[in-house]
Chain A
Amino acid sequence: MVASSNRSGALRHGEVIETSTVGFLAESDRLHHLPQLGELVQARIDDDLTAYAVVSFGETSGIDPGRRAVRRGSPDSADNDVYARHPELDHVLRTIFRTAAVGYAQDGRIRHALPPVPVPLHFGVQPCDEDDVRAFCERTDYLASLLAYRGEVAAEQLVAAHLRWVDATLDDDHEWLGRACRTLARLMKRDYDRLVILLESIDPDNS
Chain B
Amino acid sequence: MTLDLARIAGQIAAMVADLHPDDQRERFAALEHTWETIDGADIRSRLDGAKHSFLLPAPQDSYNERHPLPAPREAYCVAATDGSFILPSRHNPARYYLLNTGLVRLEYGPEPRALLDSEPILKFGEDELMIGSPVHRIPVNGTNIGPKRAAEELRAAANLLADAPEPALALQDGTLILWALETLPEPVAAWTLPGFLEAMAWFRDYQIPLASYVSAPGTREIVNLMRIAICDYPPAGKKINCDECRGRILSEGHSPACDIIPEVTDRFFFESIEPLEPGERSAIFQSTSQILDRYCADGSTDFRIDYFYLNVGLEIGRVEIPHWVSKQPELVDFVHWAVYDQCERGRGYPVALQEAHELAVLSTADRLVMEIAIERELARHGIVLTYTGKDGSKRGRFV
Contact = CB atoms under 8 A, between A and B. Distances in A.
Contacts of A67: 358
B114 A87 contact: yes
B114 A91 contact: yes
Contact of A87 (B108, B347, B358): B108
Interface in B345-375: 345, 347, 351-352, 355, 358
Given A64-B358, A67-B358, A70-B347, A88 B114 contact: yes
B112 A85 contact: yes
Interface size class of B (residues with CB under 8 A): 10 to 19
Interface residues of A, number: 12
Contacts of B113: 87
A150 interface: no
A87 B352 CA distance: 10
A62 to B, nearest CB: 10
Contacts of A88: 104, 106, 114, 116, 351-352, 355
A92 B352 CA distance: 12
A13 B351 CA distance: 30
Contacts of B347: 70
B108 A92 contact: no
Given A86-B351, A87-B107, A92 B345 contact: no
A83 to B, nearest CB: 8
A103 B104 CA distance: 43
A90 interface: yes
B358 A84 contact: no
Interface in B114-136: 114, 116
B132 to A, nearest CB: 40
B358 A85 contact: no
Interface of B: 104, 106-108, 112-114, 116, 345, 347, 351-352, 355, 358
13 contacts: A67-B358, A70-B347, A83-B112, A86-B345, A87-B107, A87-B108, A87-B112, A87-B114, A88-B352, A91-B116, A91-B355, A92-B116, A92-B355
**4 interchain residue pairs of minimum CB distance:** A87-B114, A87-B112, A91-B116, A88-B114
